[in-house]
Amino acid sequence: MTSHLYGDQTPADVKNAKGLHLITQSTPNGQKVQIFLEELADVYGTEWTTTLIDISTNEQKKPWFLRLNPNGRIPVIVDNTQSPPHPVMETSAELLYLLKFDTDHRFGFKDELEQSELIQWLFFWHGSGAPYQGNLGFFRRAKEQSTFAINRFRKETYRVFGVLELQLSGKYTGQPKEYLAGKGAGKYSVADIGTWAWVKNWSASGYTDEEFKEFPHLLKWIERIAGRAAVQRGIGEKYKPS
Ligand SMILES: N[C@@H](CCC(=O)N[C@@H](CS)C(=O)NCC(=O)O)C(=O)O
């Protein structure tokens, strides 16, 4: 146990966790990590414990949380098998950290060029997808409505969806893909997990069926991934507040 990581105010289930511990709420960012842990459980029997918090109460801004993630945002994982325990913030960094448990490279690649593709798509969504779609939601829900801001983020998010469609359709590469990264048709990886958790909410983000008709490959990709048992568990009841 380290003195700086856990304090008097740290909830007991966080402080007493022995192995991998996830602190989350089932938002798109939380779901990325929830889904990957569920996938790891199916293949390797990976175990972890979970603390659900309610970000509307600003629990994530309290000192006990900031000790683990100074950015004050969920999700966070703490690997208590390390000495001292190792906290990981930022969802894409968390997915990459958890790849160490994927010893058979089921959700990542041994080949360094394929892994480079995975990292490109993971970063693409982290830097160019989540912030746009997240801000679109923020401004759509805001009491003070700004048409300028809504239009900006609506347009950019739609453009980014179009980039995913381009990659999956193979329009310029001649290689249609089932998944974002990997040779040939690609392989389901953490790049898809990180992206899917957000993109699946396109309708709730205010896009119409008509607009999404432009993205047939993206729609099939959303369905393909939604069909996985681990994905359904990762967004399911287990992560809803009791
Ligand atoms: N870039 C961060 C974003 C995390 C993030 O924005 N989490 C949201 C929930 S989806 C959050 O904690 N919001 C609460 C807050 O901003 O206080 C990541 O990928 O981990």
Say what the pLDDT of residue 1 is.
47
Asked if residue 59 has its Cβ within 6 Å of ligand 1, the reply is no
- Helix, strand or coil, per DSSP, at residue 208: coil
Say what the pLDDT of residue 3 is.
59
Asked if residue 119 has its Cβ within 6 Å of ligand 1, the reply is no
Domains of the chain: 12-105 (3.40.30.10), 112-228 (1.20.1050.10)
Say what the pLDDT of residue 242 is.
85
What pTM was estimated for this model as a whole?
0.97
Structure tokens belonging to residue 123: 């970063």
Tokens 């958890």 correspond to what residue? 98
Q: For ligand 1, what atom is nearest to the CA of residue 94?
A: 20
Sign of CA dihedral 66, 69, 74, 80: negative
Asked if residue 50 has its Cβ within 6 Å of ligand 1, the reply is no
Structure tokens belonging to residue 140: 């759509």
CA of 110 to the centre of ligand 1 (A): 30
The candidate with the shortest Cα–Cα distance to 73, out of 28, 140, 132, 120, is: 28
Asked if residue 60 has its Cβ within 6 Å of ligand 1, the reply is yes
Burial of 145 (0-12, 13-18, 19+ CB in 10 A): exposed
Say what the pLDDT of residue 225 is.
98
pLDDT along the chain (242 residues), means of 10: 82 97 98 98 98 98 98 98 97 98 98 98 98 98 98 98 98 98 98 98 98 98 98 97 88
First to last CA, the chain: 30
Say what the pLDDT of residue 124 is.
98
Beta bridge partners of 87: 78
Asked if residue 160 has its Cβ within 6 Å of ligand 1, the reply is no
Q: Which amino acid is at 95?
A: L
Spatial distance between the Cα atoms of 24 and 26, rounded to a whole number of angstroms:
7
